[in-house]
Amino acid sequence: MITGAARGIGVGIARCFLDAGASVAITDLDEELIPVTAAELGENAMGLVADAASQVSMVKATAQVIDRFSRLDVLVNNAGVGGPKITPAENSASDSAALGMSDEMWDQQLMFNLRTAFSSSRAVIPSLPDGGSIINIASIAALGPSTAMPGYGAAKAGVVHLTKTLAIELAPRRIRVNCICPGVLWTRAWEFLTLQMQATQPELANMTQRQIFESVVEGMTPLGGEQTPEDIGDLSVFYASDKARMITGQVVAVDGGISVQ
């Protein structure tokens, strides 16, 4: 089961698990898109509307998955949403960027990006078989200061911590818990981020969002270029496989070398 997978990285992760011969359940808050994406993924995929930040919702989704596929071996905690800067942005052309982050926005960032991993794991763990696997999608924002999205970075650092804690707690059942920190991928998350950049940096006004993204990626990635959702999916499949049977509590950045600079 992959949370937040109606679009973006989650779809790439789903494709990689399907290619590896698994059946896949994708969940999302987006009621319109989730059945469309599930249909595109084919007959071994099911789409469910569920809130990854709600145990009640995820317990219900888990029951639906087990009803259809008889078991649930792997949970990928992928749902997440970026947020604003802490302090008001200078030269801001948009009201939200001019305000900076409120208490409510901070709490939302923790809910969207950390509680999602906690609540979904808490809901699914009782149904995972011994030897199952949990994979948390954090971010390179978890690995160092994140001035562009500080609430998001703090929440994702919490996801890294949760990964290590659950790895120890679930080790007696041989359930392995690992984490992936993606770098930069052209998904809706970056469409929002480039919009935010355009609102606060007038010199970007004449560039398309994709051009802004490419110029950011070019300057920051030692291996050159952006990552793809399948780059994240390939490591997810490895983590879930028996080849990783002795790997738990680990955090790997799939970022073209950004985080080692």
H-run or E-run covering 113: none
14, 16, 26, 28: residue in contact with ligand NAD (rule CB under 6 A): 28
Nearest to 28 by CA among 16, 178, 45: 45
Distance CA 146, CA 213 (A): 17
1, 2, 4, 217: residue in contact with ligand NAD (rule CB under 6 A): 4
For ligand NAD, the closer CB: 97 or 118: 118
Of 112, 152, 186, 213, which one is the catalytic site residue? 152
Task: Return the bridge partners of 77, or none.
Answer: 136
For ligand NAD, the closer CB: 98 or 216: 216
2, 7, 128, 167: residue in contact with ligand NAD (rule CB under 6 A): 7
Q: 3-state DSSP call for residue 36?
A: helix
60 to 79: interface string for ligand NAD, x by CB under 6 A:
------------------xx
Contacting ligand NAD within 194-233 (CB under 6 A)? none
In Å, what is the CA distance from 139 to each residue of 101, 133, 222, 231?
20, 19, 17, 14
Nearest to 208 by CA among 191, 189, 185, 233: 191
Q: What is the DSSP letter of 230?
A: H
Distance CA 97, CA 105 (A): 12
Distance CA 163, CA 137 (A): 10
Instruction: State the minimum distance, in angstroms, from the CB of residue 125 to ligand NAD.
Output: 18
Nearest to 93 by CA among 186, 202, 192, 189: 202
The answer to whether residue 81 forms part of the interface with ligand NAD (CB under 6 A) is yes
Residue 190, both tokens:
């970056």
Binding segment for ligand NAD among 3-11, 85-93, 207-215, 217-225 (CB under 6 A)?
A: 3-11
Q: Is 239 a catalytic residue?
A: no
| Residues contacting residue 74 through CB under 8 Å, at least 6 positions apart | 1, 17, 22, 132, 133, 134, 135, 240
The answer to whether residue 30 forms part of the interface with ligand NAD (CB under 6 A) is yes
Distance CA 55, CA 120 (A): 6
187, 200, 209, 250: residue in contact with ligand NAD (rule CB under 6 A): 187
Q: 3-state DSSP call for residue 177?
A: strand
For ligand NAD, the closer CB: 78 or 236: 78
108, 116, 133, 198: residue in contact with ligand NAD (rule CB under 6 A): 116
The answer to whether residue 3 forms part of the interface with ligand NAD (CB under 6 A) is yes
Instruction: State the minimum distance, in angstroms, from the CB of residue 147 to ligand NAD.
Output: 16
The answer to whether residue 29 forms part of the interface with ligand NAD (CB under 6 A) is yes
For ligand NAD, the closer CB: 98 or 251: 251
25, 74, 109, 112: residue in contact with ligand NAD (rule CB under 6 A): 112
> Which residue ranges make up the site for ligand NAD (CB under 6 A)?
3-4, 6-10, 27-30, 51-53, 78-81, 112, 116, 137, 139, 182, 184-185, 187-190
Residues marked as catalytic:
152
